[in-house]
Structure 1
Amino acid sequence: MATYVLVHGAWHTGELFEDVAAPIRAEGHTVHCPTLAGNGPGDPRTIGLDAAIASLAGYLEDNDLSEVVLLGHSYGGMVITGTADRVPARIRRLVYWNAFVPNNGECLNDMVPPHYVALFDAVSSGTTDNSVMLPFPIWREAFMNDASLEQAEVAFNKLNAHPYATFTDAISLSKNPAEMEIAKSYINCTEDTALPQSLGWHPRLSEKLGLFRLVQLPGSHELCFTDPAALAAAIMKAGRD
């Protein structure tokens, strides 16, 4: 049996992965769903990417986890990449679920279209803590396009403001992902339009992993809400030896 650590994306918490974790646990695996620094209740929204990475690396160390299948969703791809660079001996495989794959010196905003950067800049400038929230129309049409309006509204109300510095901070890596010796997988939901299809997740970002396993399935960027059982099955397929 394997140990899975599921790392959420922007605006989420680890708790929102629990419906995905349940079918994986039912197969006998151990599953952790931590919340990254900056996304927990009461966390300052002024923290940067380095602190988020440190919180995940610290979670693995504090819980003495090893041989971990470490999954990152969306923004979580930035964090699992940095964590793999810091504590590679604790990780058996990296799994990116429609996630950003950074090389050394890149930030998340380097990998999104200009209109998203302009939107995030405008939203964060209107806050006192440099946080950013996703507007509901984008959430509904681009992130949860496989859901009913009611499903999208219920899920949106579970989100929280995200520290924008984690999008603008450049990551510092000793090795780019393609050079890392850790095994890698990429899960691609084929109806995910959170990024424009012309600047899509796969193969534009997945190919930065070098050698990797590809798992594809139907669904949106938020399959954790709309079909957690299907996502769980894909995660186990991506994480197997």
Structure 2
Amino acid sequence: MATFVLVHGSWHDGTLWADVADRLTERGHEVHSPTIAGHGPGASRAVTHDDCVASITQYLDEHSLGDFVLVGHSFGGSVIARVAERLPDRVRRLVFLNAFVPVNGTSVLDNTPPAYQELFPQLAAQTTDDTVMLPFEVWREAFIGDADLARAEETYRLLTPEPLGPTVEKLDLTKFYSLTHIPRSYVLCGEDAALPPGDPDHGYLANARRLGVFRLVTLDGSHEVMFTNPALLATKLELAGRD
């Protein structure tokens, strides 16, 4: 059995992995789902990407975790890449779940389609704390299209504003791209329209190809399959995380 550390993406916090974590625990795995700094209800949004990474490494240290499968969803992909830079000998495997693998020297937002690059700063400029809240129509159509309307509305109420800062910081990932000894997997959800399907520059496969040698695991489901089919996702994370 394995130890899984599940790192969430934008607008999420660690509690939103609960259904997937329960399925993995039922299969005998040890599961941790920390919340990234600046995320979740009531958290200060005045954080940097370094703060996001430090919050996960601190959690791993406090729980004396080693030899774990480190899973990053969406924005969490940029976080786990930098966690691996800091703890390269403690990560058993990296698993990117429809996640960003930013080009070295770019920001997460740089690796999104132009529409998001324009929209996010505009939304943040309308707030007092430089945050972005995903519009419901984008959530419903692009992020959770495999849910009925009631489930889409229910899950949208679980989201919290995302700090813009960590998504626009340029990231030095030189060390990450040198860590070829850490196995990595990419889990690809086939009904995910959060990034344009088939986009050669901004799509999920463009991110996956940056990993070099990697294991590809596919499944039916949207960007938010942890809400719509947690049992299937748990099974696929097992496949992605095995030796």
Q: What's the TM-score once normalised by structure 2's chain length?
A: 0.96
Tell me the residue number matched to 1:208.
210
Task: Give the C-alpha shift of residue 58 in structure 1.
Answer: 1.1
The one-letter amino acid paired with 1:62 is E
Cα distance in 1, alignment partners of residues 106 and 115 from structure 2: 18
Tell me the residue number matched to 2:79.
79
The one-letter amino acid paired with 2:86 is R
Instruction: Kindly indicate whether the alpha-carbon contact (under 8 Å) linking 1:46 and 1:131 is maintained by their aligned counterparts in 2.
Output: no
Task: Give the C-alpha shift of residue 43 in structure 1.
Answer: 1.7
Cα distance in 2, alignment partners of residues 103 and 111 from structure 1: 8
Cα distance in 2, alignment partners of residues 45 and 189 from structure 1: 29
Please say if 1:228 is aligned against 2:230.
yes
Instruction: Kindly indicate whether the alpha-carbon contact (under 8 Å) linking 1:72 and 1:80 is maintained by their aligned counterparts in 2.
Output: yes
- The residue correspondences of 1:36-115 to structure 2 (distance < 5 A) are 36-115=36-115
Task: Give the C-alpha shift of residue 102 in structure 1.
Answer: 1.9
Tell me the residue number matched to 1:165.
165
Between stretches 40-49 and 125-134, larger displacement belongs to 40-49
SS of 1:175's partner is helix
Tell me the residue number matched to 1:184.
184
Cα distance in 2, alignment partners of residues 45 and 224 from structure 1: 24
Tell me the residue number matched to 2:17.
17
SS of 2:41's partner is coil
Instruction: Kindly indicate whether the alpha-carbon contact (under 8 Å) linking 1:102 and 1:177 is maintained by their aligned counterparts in 2.
Output: no
Task: Give the C-alpha shift of residue 152 in structure 1.
Answer: 0.2
Identity %: 48
The one-letter amino acid paired with 1:206 is A
SS of 2:175's partner is coil
Unaligned runs of 5+ in 1: none
The one-letter amino acid paired with 2:172 is S
The one-letter amino acid paired with 1:203 is L
Q: Deviations over 1:39-84 (max 9, x none)?
A: 0332211211110011111111111100010000000001000100
Task: Give the C-alpha shift of residue 198 in structure 1.
Answer: 3.5
The one-letter amino acid paired with 2:17 is F
Cα distance in 2, alignment partners of residues 115 and 173 from structure 1: 25
Q: What's the TM-score once normalised by structure 1's chain length?
A: 0.97
Task: Give the C-alpha shift of residue 179 in structure 1.
Answer: 4.2
Tell me the residue number matched to 1:152.
152
SS of 2:18's partner is helix
Task: Give the C-alpha shift of residue 178 in structure 1.
Answer: 6.2
Between stretches 7-16 and 198-207, larger displacement belongs to 198-207
Cα distance in 2, alignment partners of residues 103 and 64 from structure 1: 31
The one-letter amino acid paired with 2:228 is T
| Structure 1 runs of 4+ with >3 Å offset | 176-180
Instruction: Kindly indicate whether the alpha-carbon contact (under 8 Å) linking 1:108 and 1:167 is maintained by their aligned counterparts in 2.
Output: yes
